A and B are shown apart, each in its own frame.
Chain A
Amino acid sequence: MTDLQILHEHTYTILKEGEVSTGTTILALPFDGGVVVCADSRTSTGSYVANRVSDKLVQLSEYIYCCRSGSAADTQALTDYVHYFLNQWSLDTGRQPTVKTAAHLMRRLIYNNKDQLQAGVIVAGWDPVDGGSVYTITLGGSCLELPFATGGSGSIFIAGLLDSEFRPNMSKDEARSLAKKACAHAMTRDGSSGGVIRTVAITSEGVDRDYTGGNELPFGPSAVW
C-alpha cells in the first residue's frame, strides 16, 4: 500500500462515508482593537462540492466568532452548544462572555468527545478583559492562544505567507485584506477550499461582515497558469 493509499484509508475511516466535510481554509488575524476572522465557502462530500457558498463563520456571542473546520455536522452541533452555554453564562453573570471562556467551553466539548468528533476550530473575538484574542482548538482537544491562527486543509499552503506578512497591531483594513489575500492563495492551491471569501471584523464597536465573490478574489489560478 502506498503512502497515499494509507492516507486515503485513514481519511475514510475517520470521516464516515457520505459525511459532509468542510475541507477548508479558515484564519483569524488580530489587529489594533479587534480581530478579523475569515473563511472560504466550500463544503464537500468526497470530491463532490455539496455547497459552494457555505458560511463557516458562526457567531457564538455578540463579539465572539468561531471558524469551523472538519465535519460539518460535528462543528455545527458544537457551535450550537457553545452558543447556548455562553448565553447562559451571560445570564448568570450579567456580563459579556470572554473569548477565553468561549474557547474553554469548546475545548471541553471537543476533548471530552474526541473519539466521536472530527472538529478543528478557531475561536476569536473581542472582550472587555483581554481585548481582541485568538484561540485554536485542535482535533485532539488542546486549546492554544496564538498571535494569529490558521486552520483547515488549506492552511498549510499559506503558513509561510502569513509568517512573512502578518504584523501585530495592523489596522482593520490591513488585517482584512491580508486575510483575504491569504485565503485566496489557499483556495488556489487547495482542492478542498474554494468558492467565495467571507470575513468578519470584530471590534468593541461591533461586528462587520464582508463578502468577496468568486469572481473578485484578490488572487486566482489565472495569475499562475
Chain B
Amino acid sequence: MASSGSGYDLSSATFSPDGRIFQVEYATKAVENAGPVLGIKCSNGVVLGCAKPVNHKMVVATSGSYKRIHTCDTHIGCASTGFLPDARVLVQRVVEEAADWQDQYGSKIPPDVLGERLGSYVHYFTLHGALRPFGAAAVLAGYDPDTKECSLQMLEPNGAPYKYYGVATGKGKQAAKTELEKLNLHKNPIPVEEAVKQILKILFLLHQEQKDAKPIEVEVSWICEASGWTHQGVPKDLLKTAEEWAKQQLEEEEEDDEEDEEGMEE
C-alpha cells in the first residue's frame, strides 16, 4: 500500500475511504465493453433489442449461437450483456425464480417481484470477499397476466433493480440513452412496431459511430398482443422491413448533415 487509497479494490467486501466499492465499479466497466442492449416500454407492450459483434468470419451468428436474448418464462424476456458466461448465470436464475414461483403459487411471477429477487441475488455477490460481482447486466421485459401490465427493468452489477421507460446498457450506452431520451418515452409512449424500428436505428447508429467495428447481428424480441402477451422474437419479415427503414433513416440523416455542411461553406 504505497499511497493512500490503493489496495481497496481487491475485494468487494471492503469499502474505499470515500465509500466506494471498486470491484463493483470494475464489474460495471466489464458491462460497458460488451455489445449494446436496449429496451423500450411501449404503449402496448415492451421491446428488447441487442447487437452482437461477429468476432470472427467463421462464427455462426444466427440461429441461436451465443444467444443474448432469452425467454425465461412465457411472460418474461431477458436481454443480457457484459461478460457472457456471467450473464447466463443471471438468466438461469431468472428461469429458476419464475419456475419456483409458478410451482409454489400456481400463477405467473409478477415481473416486479422477479426483478427484486434477481436484484437480491446479484447484490449478494457484492457482499462477500470470497465472491466476485457479476460482470454482466440484465434487462428484463415482463408482462403480468393478472394486472395486464408490462414492465421493463434493468439490473446492473450493483444489484439495484430499477424500472425504466427506456433503457440502454453495454457499449455506447451514453449515446443510446441520449437517443432514447429524444423519443420522450416517459411522456409519449410509442407502440411496439415503432419501438422495434427505433431500437434498430439506435443499434445501427452506435455501430456506425464505432471505429474499426466488427460486423453485427441484431436480436429483437417483444411482448405484445401480436405475440399473445408472451415473450417472442419479432417476426423475421417485420424485422427485415424495420432494418431497412432504420438504415434508410440513418442514410438520409447523414445526407442532410452533409448538405448542411456544404451550406455553411458558402
Interface residues of A (CB under 8 A from B): 89, 92-93, 95, 98, 100-101, 103-105, 107-108, 129
Contacts and interface: CB of A to CB of B under 8 A. Distances in A.
A101 B105 CA distance: 5
B106 A93 contact: no
A104 B105 contact: yes
A101 B106 contact: yes
B104 interface: yes
Interface residues of B, number: 8
A27 B96 CA distance: 38
Contacts of B113: 92-93
Contact of A100 (B104, B106, B110, B112): B106
A107 B107 CA distance: 14
Given A95-B146, A101-B106, A129-B146, 16 more contacts: A89-B105, A92-B113, A93-B110, A93-B113, A95-B110, A98-B107, A98-B146, A100-B106, A100-B107, A101-B105, A103-B106, A104-B104, A104-B107, A105-B105, A105-B106, A108-B104
A108 B112 CA distance: 25
Contacts, number: 25
Contacts of B110: 93, 95
Contacts of A101: 105-107
Interface of B: 104-107, 110, 112-113, 146
Among the interface residues A93, A98, A103, A108, which one has the most CB atoms of the partner chain B within 10 A? A93
Nearest to B148: A129
11 contacts: A89-B105, A93-B112, A93-B113, A100-B106, A100-B107, A104-B105, A104-B106, A104-B107, A105-B104, A105-B105, A107-B106
B105 to A, nearest CB: 5
Nearest to B145: A129
A208 B62 CA distance: 61
Contacts of A100: 106-107
Among the interface residues B104, B106, B112, B113, which one has the most CB atoms of the partner chain A within 10 A? B106
Nearest to B146: A129
A188 to B, nearest CB: 38
The 8 closest A-B pairs by CB, nearest first: A104-B106, A101-B105, A129-B146, A93-B110, A101-B107, A93-B113, A92-B113, A104-B105
A129 B105 CA distance: 15
Among the interface residues B105, B110, B146, which one has the most CB atoms of the partner chain A within 10 A? B105
Nearest to B103: A108
B76 to A, nearest CB: 15
A101 B107 CA distance: 7
Nearest to B106: A104
A203 B107 CA distance: 22
A218 B104 CA distance: 42
Contacts of A104: 104-107
Nearest to A128: B146
A103 B110 CA distance: 18
A89 B109 CA distance: 11
A122 to B, nearest CB: 17
A100 B106 CA distance: 7
Contacts of A95: 110, 146
A53 B104 CA distance: 35
Contacts of B105: 89, 101, 104-105
Nearest to B109: A93
B163 to A, nearest CB: 14
A95 B105 CA distance: 14
Contacts of B106: 100-101, 103-105, 107
Nearest to A101: B105
A88 to B, nearest CB: 10
A76 B153 CA distance: 41
Contacts of A105: 104-106
Nearest to A92: B113
B101 to A, nearest CB: 9
Contacts of B112: 93
Nearest to B117: A92
A98 B107 CA distance: 9
A152 B146 CA distance: 32
Contacts of A108: 104
